[in-house]
Amino acid sequence: MPELPEVETVVRDLQPELVGCRIVTLQVGRKKLRTPWRTAWSGLLAERTIHAVGRRGKWIILELDGGQYLVFHLGMTGQLTVTPSVAVRQDHTHLVFDLDNDQQLRFRDIRRFGSATLFACRTDLDTFFVRSGLGPEPFDLSADYWAKCLAATTRSLKAVLLDQRVVAGVGNIYADESLFEARLHPMRRGCDLSKKEADRLRRAIATVLCRAIERRGSSIRNYVGGSGLQGEYQNEFRVYGRTGEPCPRCRTAIARLRLAGRSTHYCPCCQRS
C-alpha cells in the first residue's frame, strides 16, 4: 500500500501538471471502487478549475474553484497520473478526467481498494478527517504529544506506528525503517520507553520519511508517481524485506516476525528487546 512518501511524490508530480487546469469532461468506468462514484459528481466537476494539489495522511486532495475538494485514496494498487489524451489507456483505469490542455488525469486501480470522493466544501472535508480520527502529520509531531501517546499505551511500537489515529501516513515499510533508525525493537511497549527514546523515535520517523520522499518513495509492486515514474527508495531499505540478509550496521542477519498483523523486520543486535 502506498504510504506517505509515495503519496507525497504523487502530489509533487501532479502540482505543476494540474494547477490552473480546467476539468472539461469526466469518463467513469463500469466497475466500482471502494467508494462508488456518484453520477451527480460528474456534473459538479465539469468546467471546474484545479487551484491546488495537496495531501493529508495518505489522501490526495485537489482543491477546485467553487470551494469543492476532490479527494483520492490510492488503496493498495492505485495510480493517479497525468497522461496525454492520445496515450493508450491501460486496463483497470476507472476514472478519466479530460483537461483543457489535451491531457488527462487518470485513476487506475487493479484491486479497486482505492477511492475518489467529492466534498462540497472545506467544512465537509474537515469533518471527514475528524470522523476518521486521522492523527497529526509525522512532521508536525510535538515532543510532548508523542511522549504522551507512547506513555499511555501498552501496545508495541510497531502497532503504534501503524495506527493512523496516532500519526498519519506511516505504514509497514516506514514503521520498520524508522524503528531501525531509532535502534528500538518493534515489540517494545510504548509505555516502557524513556522520554529520550521516545524523542529519538519521533525524529527517526521524520528522517526516514524525508529520505524516502527524496527518492520518490518505494516501488514494490504497482506504485508509480504522478508522472508515471517509479520510486527508488526500495533500493535503500535497511531492514524491510531483507530477512536473512546482513544488517548494514553490524552484519547480523535481519530477522522477521509477525506483529500487529504485519510482517516486521528488524536487527536483533541493533534493536535489542
Instruction: State how far the Cα of 195 lies from the Cα of 4, in Å rounded to an integer.
Output: 26
Candidates 48, 55, 56, 58; catalytic one: 58
C-alpha cell at 110: 487493479
CA 227 to chain centre: 16
245 is catalytic: no
58 is known as an active-site residue: yes
Q: Three-class SS string for the chain?
A: CCCHHHHHHHHHHHHHHHCCCEEEEEEECCCCCCECCCHHHHHHHCCCEEEEEEEECCEEEEEECCCCEEEEECCCCEEEEEEECCCCCCCCEEEEEEECCCEEEEEEECCCCCEEEEECCHHHHHHHHHHHCCCCCHHHCCHHHHHHHHHCCCCEHHHHHHCCCCCCCCCHHHHHHHHHHHCCCCCCEHHHCCHHHHHHHHHHHHHHHHHHHHCCCCCCCCCCCCCCCCCCHHHHCCCCCCCCCECCCCCCECEEEEECCEEEEECCCCCCC
Which of 89, 189, 262, 268 is the catalytic position? 262
* Residue 2 annotated as catalytic: yes
Say how far apart CA 140 and CA 18 lie, in whole Å: 27
Q: Which long-range contacts (CB under 8 A, 24 or more apart) does 244-250 make?
A: none
Catalytic residues: 2-3, 58, 262
